[in-house]
Structure 1
Amino acid sequence: MLSLDKQLLFLVSSAGGIEVKRLVEIYEAREVDHQVVRNALLRLKKDGYLRSSERSKYEITEQGLDFITAINQKSLLLGRAWDGQWLTVMFEVPESERKKRDALRGDLLQLGFGALHKGVYISPWDYADEVIRFAKQYEIEERLTIMRGVFVTRQPQPDLVKRLWPIDELNHVYRAKIEWYRTAFASTVTPLLRDPADGLALFVRFLELGELLANLSLNDPMLPAELLDEDWLGKSSFEEMQQGLSQLAEAIPADSPYRTFVHRFTQA
């Protein structure tokens, strides 16, 4: 799913329903053409993530909420204690159903699974319910086996972890993004915090940072500390930018029409 699509789902779910003209206004401030926004909304509706009960207004569906919930849950894994057990997902889907197989594989990788062998994926976190939901969605649940336990041999060590997940590459990404956040991004936000006006400019920056965090969350398996090197920047960088996101949300005036989109990130 495209970044714009995911963000639109977030906005619609936050508002409980929203008119197209409001979304167009927001994304024109981000220099996104209105037709791109309209096309994305139609695509999400066609795929079952949104519904339109009245003309030019969208609401999120149960399928859309499930997707948003899955994305939001990954960041909650930061710092969570690990019980040392692994979830193992095994499946064998014939070539005639390749699209379903590829879709499930993509979902597993997005959740943070690593490919141990062909058709065998592992995760330190218990995503059994999500995996079963995906399998039912693609009608391949009978081709799926899920187990949870410990490794008797080949307990994943740092070298194997780095083969299964692009840890070093992700660390470089985090290093670059936190540097951008502390310099280029901060320089644009500081004057807005002093004079938030109607909140639109702050909200645009909120969306920009939120989009970055969402993409990082989708690419980062959020592995427990036991499986990571001491120089891992993911947890500290992600948490610092999350705090910045909350700061932006709090700075949007209470009477701003954009405040409703950020209430999850505010104290009030």
Structure 2
Amino acid sequence: MAEEHVNDAVEIPTRLLVESMIREDATIDAGELYTVAAALGMSDQQVRLHIRRLVTDGQITQEGRGRRALLRVGGQMLGSIEPNIEFVGLMYDQDRGAAPWDGIWHLVAFAVPETRRQARDAVRDGIVGLGGAAIQGGLYVSPNSWEPYVEDLADRLDIGGHLTRLTTTDLRVGELDSPRQIAAHLWPLDKIAAGHERLLAVTQARLDRLAGPRELSRSQILTMLVELAAEFTRASEPDPLLPPELLPQPWPGTRARSALAACWAQLMPLRSMPDWPRMFYHYADVIERVTAGAEGIETAGGQAIRTAG
């Protein structure tokens, strides 16, 4: 029976659900997949059609039929939703003051010819994906040391000769010269903060369930794992990871990540049990590593949660 969600329901795309259910041996138990899908408000038909498309595309193979089927996943899908430990580590370092800003702005400009429009679009999207903000046409800035990532992007697109890189401690954008004002002008902080507020609400609701008197079934825990990973991804992807010195305080991202770490801490005992999705083990390992020793965040052991079935 599906859990009742009121204000904390998480919207999960069908593909993300399927990817979230991949186990360490690159298989998916179709029965568990359909059960979690139902808990998330998806119909069997919706999941069945998506599986059929993945089989047709050669991304998975299917052994058996319906809920008794075993799905085998190809390499293309593996690792697609696993967290990047380097970026997650930076988030938590910033939250606990272990990565203070040095006051340096990092800029990159590009002038890719019209004949290479596809590469030009790709480098622009890649720079924005790395947290860059456009100052004006072809000129982007970040407060973080992103040069290795920008250079790797340029190498992959073979446009290194069209890039200019520079750093400065003296940045003025229009009439703005205060770093915090510049950040508020260049990045959509209200929208980013709203995503973290949403993550906080979702995570807090799951913490309350873990601490509640009801035993949690395996399918309920699986549903929770998918929801947490999806909402964390949704909140984190548009976040440029600006240093706290550039953000309004208190910043909701800090509270949301602290709650998320506490939630995963409560789930840590599950690592000794077999056949959980590989996504769970990766998130548990990453959260434990990057929050180790962080004051105010329980990161290891935790209260053993009650499970049923």
What TM-score range do you get, normalising by the shorter chain?
0.7 to 0.9
Instruction: Tell me which of 60, 63, 84 is aligned to 2:103.
Output: 84
Pair 1:255-2:277 in alignment: no
> Does the CA contact (< 8 Å) of 1:90 and 1:146 recur in 2?
yes
Instruction: Tell me which of 22, 30, 40 is aligned to 2:29.
Output: 22
Determine the structure 2 residue equivalent to 1:195.
215
> Does the CA contact (< 8 Å) of 1:87 and 1:125 recur in 2?
yes
> Does the CA contact (< 8 Å) of 1:104 and 1:135 recur in 2?
yes
Following the alignment from structure 1 to structure 2, what is the Cα–Cα distance between the partners of residues 205 and 90? 42
Q: Which moved more, 1:149-158 or 1:221-230?
A: 149-158
Determine the structure 2 residue equivalent to 1:59.
75
Determine the structure 2 residue equivalent to 1:123.
142
> Does the CA contact (< 8 Å) of 1:115 and 1:122 recur in 2?
yes
**C-alpha displacement of 1:6:** 6.8
Relative to structure 1, is the Cα distance of residues 136 and 65 closer, same or farther in structure 2, using a 3 angstrom cutoff?
A: farther
Pair 1:169-2:188 in alignment: no
* Number of matched pairs: 249
Where structure 1 has 5 or more consecutive residues not aligned to the other structure, the ranges are none
> Does the CA contact (< 8 Å) of 2:105 and 2:167 recur in 1?
yes
Instruction: Tell me which of 86, 103, 123 is aligned to 1:104.
Output: 123
SS at 1:258 equivalent: coil
> Does the CA contact (< 8 Å) of 2:210 and 2:266 recur in 1?
no
Listed one character per residue, the Cα deviations across residues 11-67 of structure 1 (whole Å, up to 9, x for unaligned) are: 76x83x502x4378436523361442564688796xxxx9xxxx9442369xx8699
- Compute the TM-score of the two structures, normalised by the length of structure 1: 0.74
SS at 2:251 equivalent: coil
Listed one character per residue, the Cα deviations across residues 78-127 of structure 1 (whole Å, up to 9, x for unaligned) are: 21222222221111123333332222222222221111111111111122
Listed one character per residue, the Cα deviations across residues 219-257 of structure 1 (whole Å, up to 9, x for unaligned) are: 111111111122322222222123213423x24362331
Give me the identity figure in percent.
20
SS at 1:241 equivalent: helix
Partner amino acid, structure 1, of 2:187: W
Following the alignment from structure 2 to structure 1, what is the Cα–Cα distance between the partners of residues 55 and 161? 33
Relative to structure 1, is the Cα distance of residues 187 and 230 closer, same or farther in structure 2, using a 3 angstrom cutoff?
A: closer
Determine the structure 2 residue equivalent to 1:151.
170
> Does the CA contact (< 8 Å) of 1:86 and 1:124 recur in 2?
yes
Following the alignment from structure 2 to structure 1, what is the Cα–Cα distance between the partners of residues 113 and 225? 44
Determine the structure 2 residue equivalent to 1:205.
224
SS at 2:135 equivalent: strand
> Does the CA contact (< 8 Å) of 1:4 and 1:40 recur in 2?
no
Bigger Rg, structure 1 or 2: 2
Determine the structure 1 residue equivalent to 2:294.
none
Following the alignment from structure 2 to structure 1, what is the Cα–Cα distance between the partners of residues 165 and 133? 14
**C-alpha displacement of 1:140:** 2.0
More helix by proportion, 1 or 2? 1
Pair 1:137-2:145 in alignment: no
Partner amino acid, structure 2, of 1:142: G
> Does the CA contact (< 8 Å) of 2:203 and 2:256 recur in 1?
no
Where structure 2 has 5 or more consecutive residues not aligned to the other structure, the ranges are 1-11, 61-70, 286-299, 302-309
